[in-house]
């Protein structure tokens, strides 16, 4: 009996000892599993962050490359390759209007009410715009009255709707890059400029561009009776349409063809 009691006393102790030894091992296993999961999650986050950084770096690099390639292509393209072809341009027939305002300079800052909007002739500021570039956005465009002076000097001014679709504006900017920087070269007398609601009503409905010129008798440019404002409105920007228009109305046929 004493022996049995002794065994009964020692048995629980043995059982407790086994539980005590197994419990720390179980906790270590759980801690190791948690640590392994934490490290795995950390590696996953690191890889994701690395991928995001690589994608952003490639995007930042790709955009300047795209701009460079697009600029290079535009400068080395022929004008008729840019925008839509002539048939798809949706151009109205060329319209001619009696020209006004030859050598009629108004004070800078004053507003001229033009008979045609956008204008193709009329009174204007005393100085034309300095043409260091051929394309203007709303933020840097000279005054309308300034650009009309350039029309008098034989420039083709393509007015574009300021809220035209981006593709149309981008095509027109590409076309502008086909022209050189020599203001005295008749072939380079080209400007694209926006027309917004702030400039006034009258932009042809459904059209995105209006090609304009101020023409004169090349044998007698000062003869105001022979001067005309010429315009052609188109739905789509077309290098072919612009080239065709400029060929029909060359810079030499303007009131002051030798002006810059």
- Residue reference for tokens 């065994």: 7
pLDDT digits (tens, 9 = 90+) for 211-247: 999 999 999 999 999 999 999 999 999 999 999 999 9
pLDDT digits (tens, 9 = 90+) for 48-96: 888 888 888 777 765 565 455 455 555 567 899 999 999 999 999 999 9
Measured CA to CA in angstroms, residue 141 lies from 123, 127, 130, 133, 153 at distances of 18, 15, 11, 11, 18
Q: How far apart are CA 252 and CA 65, in angstroms?
A: 39
Residue 197 tokens read as 């609601």
DSSP string, the chain: -HHHHHHHHHHHHHHHHHHHHHHHHHHHHHHHHHHHHHHHHHHHHHHHHHHHHHHHHHHHHHHHHHHHHHHHHHHTS-GGGSBS-TTTS-BPPPEEEE---TT-EE-TT-----SSSS-SS--EESSPPP-S-SB--TTTPPPHHHHHHHHHTT-EEEEEETTS-HHHHHHHHHHHTTS-S-TTSGGG-EEEEEE-GGG-S-PPTT-SEEEEEEE--TT-TT-GGG-EEEEEEESS-BHHHHHHHHHHS-TTSSSSTT--
pLDDT digits (tens, 9 = 90+) for 118-164: 999 999 999 998 777 899 999 999 999 999 999 999 999 999 999 99
Q: How far apart are CA 230 and CA 251, in angstroms?
A: 12
pLDDT digits (tens, 9 = 90+) for 4-15: 444 444 445 545
- Predicted TM-score of the model (pTM): 0.72
So where are the chain's domains?
1-76, 82-248
């Amino acid at each position: 009996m004493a022996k049995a009691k002794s065994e009964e006393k020692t048995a629980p102790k043995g059982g407790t000892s086994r539980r005590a030894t197994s419990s720390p091992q179980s906790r270590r296993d759980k801690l190791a599993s948690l640590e392994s999961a934490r490290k795995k999650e950390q590696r996953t986050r690191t890889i994701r962050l690395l991928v995001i950084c690589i994608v952003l770096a490639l995007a930042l690099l790709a955009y300047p490359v795209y701009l460079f390639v697009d600029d290079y292509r535009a400068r080395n393209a022929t004008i008729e390759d840019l925008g839509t072809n002539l048939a798809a341009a949706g151009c109205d027939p060329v319209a001619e209007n009696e020209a006004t305002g030859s050598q009629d300079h108004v004070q800078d800052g004053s507003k001229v009410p033009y008979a045609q909007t956008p204008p193709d002739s009329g009174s204007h500021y005393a100085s034309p715009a300095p043409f260091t570039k051929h394309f203007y956005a709303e933020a840097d465009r000279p005054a309308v009255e300034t650009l009309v002076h350039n029309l008098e000097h034989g420039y083709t001014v393509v007015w574009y709707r300021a809220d035209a679709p981006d593709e149309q504006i981008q095509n027109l900017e590409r076309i502008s890059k086909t022209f050189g920087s020599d203001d005295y070269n008749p072939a380079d007398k080209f400007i694209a400029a926006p027309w917004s609601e702030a400039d006034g009503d009258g932009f042809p409905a459904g059209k995105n561009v209006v090609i304009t010129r101020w023409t004169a008798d090349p044998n007698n440019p000062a003869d105001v009776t022979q001067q005309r404002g010429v315009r052609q409105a188109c739905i789509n920007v077309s290098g072919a349409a612009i080239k065709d228009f400029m060929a029909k109305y060359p810079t030499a046929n303007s009131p002051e063809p030798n002006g810059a």
